[in-house]
Homo-oligomer: A and B are copies of this chain.
């Protein structure tokens, strides 16, 4: 069985959408990636940091989903990273209301000894130097996937470029791809980003799906058209967790197999947005996932009568 090492925040979120608001609930990229990847039978571990205020029940939730938490440091007397945001009516944009780094400010990631030989590494959205430190602790991974965002492009671009140079796959959204490359056309943007290092570029377009670029090949996976998006928080991380979880489970990093991985990631993300926070991901069962995979297939697969 492949080992999957994940680094990412395990945190508190407080979310407002047009449909309601939450108090402090479980959030963080590491959490969403881990829960998403747990839908595949892989041995996974999350490397992160929390404060003394972090409830044991949240840690138990991860453990119950077969996620190794030996790499989650609990800082005595420390407070857990907290993010609060409010989504606009279209749910495509949001304002950050509050960010409290707390224990994340001095996070020094420690990869558990049992995961230094992980074949699959998911660098969730975090400071590039933290991502780099994790990369330096793993021995010889088969595939490294990087997720990042515009914040790091604005503030720590040189460090970010060092990480980008060392990963196999990068996942970013369309606006971030444009920012990073300076090109409006996503085809051109992907080519420029590929020159920075990654052999595979995944550009996430939210409700408009995701594109996978490799050399001159392109694959596109739609998002499932939903009647209602309730809360988009964690959708990108869930997508990434499904992507790498599927690759780790099938242990095949070919472009052909990455096509399916993108579909699996989109599929899991479509569940994530149906309820607040991690709620929907916690209750997900295998038959629902398979049923919706079938919907994805019907959404894009076709036969032609003439050519």
Contacts and interface: CB of A to CB of B under 8 A. Distances in A.
Interface of A: 89-90, 184-188, 205, 208-209, 211, 217-222, 225-228, 246, 249-250, 252, 256-257, 259-260, 263, 290, 293, 298-307
Contacts of A187: 225-227
- Interface centre among A185, A219, A290, A299, by most chain B C-beta atoms within 10 angstroms, is A299
B302 A260 contact: yes
Given A218-B299, A219-B298, A222-B209, A227 B185 contact: yes
A306 to B, nearest CB: 6
23 contacts: A89-B184, A186-B225, A187-B226, A205-B208, A208-B209, A209-B222, A217-B298, A218-B298, A218-B299, A219-B298, A219-B300, A220-B222, A220-B225, A220-B299, A220-B300, A221-B300, A249-B306, A260-B302, A260-B305, A290-B307, A293-B307, A300-B300, A300-B301
Contacts of A218: 225, 298-299
A215 B246 CA distance: 32
Contact of A90 (B184, B249, B290): B184
A306 B217 CA distance: 23
A202 to B, nearest CB: 13
A249 B305 CA distance: 10
B303 A256 contact: yes
Nearest to A258: B302
A114 B220 CA distance: 44
A175 to B, nearest CB: 12
A306 B250 contact: yes
A281 to B, nearest CB: 19
A305 B252 contact: yes
Central interface residue in A89, A185, A220, by most chain B CB within 10 Å: A220
A158 to B, nearest CB: 29
Contacts of A222: 209, 220, 222
B257 A305 contact: yes
A208 B208 contact: yes
Contacts of A301: 300-301
A214 to B, nearest CB: 12
A211 B208 CA distance: 11
Max chain B CB contacts within 10 Å: which of A184, A226, A300? A300
Q: Which of A218, A246, A249 has the most B CB atoms < 10 Å from its CB?
A: A218
A203 B253 CA distance: 35
Contacts of A260: 302-305
Which among A228, A263, A302 has the greatest number of chain B C-beta atoms within 10 A? A302
Contacts of A299: 218-220
Given A259-B302, A301-B301, A302-B219, A227 B307 contact: no
A219 B225 CA distance: 10
Contacts of A249: 306
